[in-house]
Amino acid sequence: MTTWLEPTLVLALAFLLGRPLGAYLGKVLEGKPPRVLPLQWLERAVYCVGGVDPFVEMTGRGYAMALLRFHLVGLLCVFLVQELQQWLPLNPQRFGAVRWDVALNTAVSFVTNTDWQAYAGEQTMSHFTQMLALTVQNFLSAAAGLAVLAVLARGFTRRECPTLGNFWADLVRATVYVLLPLSLIWSVLLVSQGVPQTFSGHLQVTTLEGTRQTIAIGPVASQEAIKQVGSNGGGFFNANSAHPFENPTPLSNFLETLAILLLPVACPFAFGHLLGDRKQGWALFCAMAGLFLVGLLVVLGAEWSTVPQFERLGIVGGNVEGKEARFGLIPSALWAQATTAVSNGAVNSAHESLMPLASLVLMFNMGVGEPIFGGAGAGVLTMMFYVLLTMFLAGLMIGRTPEYFGKKLGPYEMAMTIVGVVVPVVALLALASLAIGTPQGRMGVTGEGAHGISQVLYAFASTTGNNGSALAGLRADLSFYTLATSFAMLAGRFATLLPAIAIASSLARKRAMAATAATFPTSNVFFIALLMSVVVLEGALTLFPAFVLGPVLEHLQLVSGR
């Protein structure tokens, strides 16, 4: 498969399959899963074991409290499994307890759908921990994002209604009918490409030089599948998807890139289905796709460029440092753009070695809250914050109270929108400033000058954006960073989910307004262009001053030959 053919096919398939998958996802979240997958028995069994009545609906407050309790219990369970793994089964390497701050960081990371990893998986986590703690949270954290997507849609469609659905029912349906089948399909496909799926421990082999080497293996394929499908990104191995056991062939790279994009691309269509207006879903998709493709062109251009340092070394054909020879430059650039735009965080190349302008685009993708498709469900939530902000600005221009889909947007909705857009950015900049301005933070920075600043900015853009990728030169295992990034991940997660539920609860209690000739259209080309402009403008106003000190300055130094 040629380097240009693979990205073209990946994007074509993702965009082509997104529409039918979105319709399917919409039906599932409506509580009307198609009979094509006869899994109703499994759904009923989960309700029976959990003592859940799926027909009892919750208010906005009740839904938010159930979401918070669910995340808290998940966090405690993941933390305890790590601390007790030396006494738990399926630990062939006999790993001991994980250092407490790393265990806390990991628990927060996987519960918030971030999968930031301050540890080397094959040297730290037992098979039991990888499967019961981390892989289970890969399913549940993604399902929670899809559940809140359904809630926000109900806020627009319900009329003078105090309830928003049942959190447990939404969570179970998203897991049973969407995440489990997709993960099973991708697990089988990855196993066919040579990805290990075994409970065996490490292998002891003798190299050609006669030395002994330990090779880590384990239940990799099952974790790899949900890691990509559920916008998670946490790898079984420290090298993540650049490791030959996680991503052994060009075909496995193709399948994993497709898996990264598939569900996030489907989510705007699912939202349109839930609204009962496909045009709204298409408008969201077009805005997301437009921003994605512009960013991809910049990343490709930056990585393909030649700078004075390359010319002196006789290097042609772009920046090949840090790229896997199995995949090449162009598929690696597509992966980098996809994994940061989609809030996945998996890597198949060293982001530390990316050109500064490419790093700038990736930081922008994460720093604006990842509305460019974003994570499972959460990406649409963030983009809807920008939609409401766009409607507010449009209302100011035409002198009307802003409204969307027949619902008037009052001060409360706009306040929650600002919380969803601003809080992650404030956390990003405050924590990055603290890291750069304190000895504890600077201890983890290995890059010099502008690149060191880029390492810090990237880390907090990734964690507040619930992404999980990193410029790996940063020493993320230091206690300062394990605790600071834990706070960043919590701020990014709940500043997205809770305001979305609050907006939905407020809107569901309102009456619907009939559309008139003065109603601002929200599905035409002008609105899509305005929405894209608002995303770019907000990112530029809040993040560009910091980016000037990092990737922009690094780029200027690079092109000047320094």
Q: Quick: pLDDT tens for 298-308.
A: 999 999 887 76
Same domain, 311 and 239: no
The tokens for 50 are 């959990």
Residue 316 in this model has a pLDDT that exceeds 70: no
Of 236, 258, 276, the one marking the end of a domain is: 276
Mean pLDDT to the nearest integer, 220-248: 93
Mean pLDDT to the nearest integer, 485-505: 96
Q: Which of 191-195, 207-211, 443-447, 476-480 has the lowest mean pLDDT?
A: 207-211
Could you tell me what percentage of the chain is helix, strand and coil, using 3-state DSSP and rounding each to the nearest 5?
65, 5, 30
Same domain, 167 and 148: yes
Same domain, 372 and 247: no
Amino acid at 238: N
Of 212, 246, 276, the one marking the end of a domain is: 276
- State pLDDT tens for residues 103-138: 999 999 999 999 999 999 889 999 999 999 999 999
Q: Which residue has the tokens 């810090």?
A: 456
Task: Please tell me the predicted confidence (pLDDT) of residue 305.
Answer: 82
E strand or H helix at 13: helix 5-29
**Other residues' Cβ atoms within 10 Å of the Cβ of residue 459:** 26
Same domain, 553 and 464: yes
Same domain, 284 and 252: no
Q: How far apart are CA 90 and CA 99, in angstroms?
A: 20
Mean pLDDT to the nearest integer, 364-372: 92
Residue 2 in this model has a pLDDT that exceeds 60: no
Same domain, 200 and 269: yes
Same domain, 296 and 218: no
Do residues 26 and 177 lie in contact, with contact meaning Cβ atoms separated by under 8 Å? Answer: no
Mean pLDDT to the nearest integer, 434-438: 94
Q: How far apart are CA 147 and CA 169, in angstroms?
A: 9
Same domain, 453 and 541: yes
Same domain, 331 and 307: yes
Residue 181 in this model has a pLDDT that exceeds 90: yes
**Containing structural domain, residue 413:** 279-559
Compute φ and ψ for 447, nearest 5 degrees: -80, 155
Task: Please tell me the predicted confidence (pLDDT) of residue 518.
Answer: 67
Longest dimension (CA), the chain: 80
Q: Model-level pTM?
A: 0.94
Q: What is the mean pLDDT of the chain?
A: 91
Same domain, 264 and 338: no
Same domain, 261 and 290: no
Task: Please tell me the predicted confidence (pLDDT) of residue 311.
Answer: 66
Q: Which residue has the tokens 């772009």?
A: 318
- State pLDDT tens for residues 146-155: 999 999 999 9
Share of the chain above pLDDT 70, in %: 97
The total number of structural domains in the chain stands at 2
Same domain, 313 and 445: yes
Of 222, 247, 276, the one marking the end of a domain is: 276
Task: Please tell me the predicted confidence (pLDDT) of residue 38.
Answer: 86
Alpha helices in 96-179 (DSSP H): 100-111, 121-124, 127-128, 136-157, 167-174
Residue 455 in this model has a pLDDT that exceeds 50: yes
Do residues 382 and 369 lie in contact, with contact meaning Cβ atoms separated by under 8 Å? Answer: yes
Residue 16 in this model has a pLDDT that exceeds 50: yes
Mean pLDDT to the nearest integer, 69-87: 96
- State pLDDT tens for residues 33-52: 887 788 999 999 999 999 99
Task: Please tell me the predicted confidence (pLDDT) of residue 1.
Answer: 44
Helix axes 378-398, 479-508, angle to 10 degrees: 60
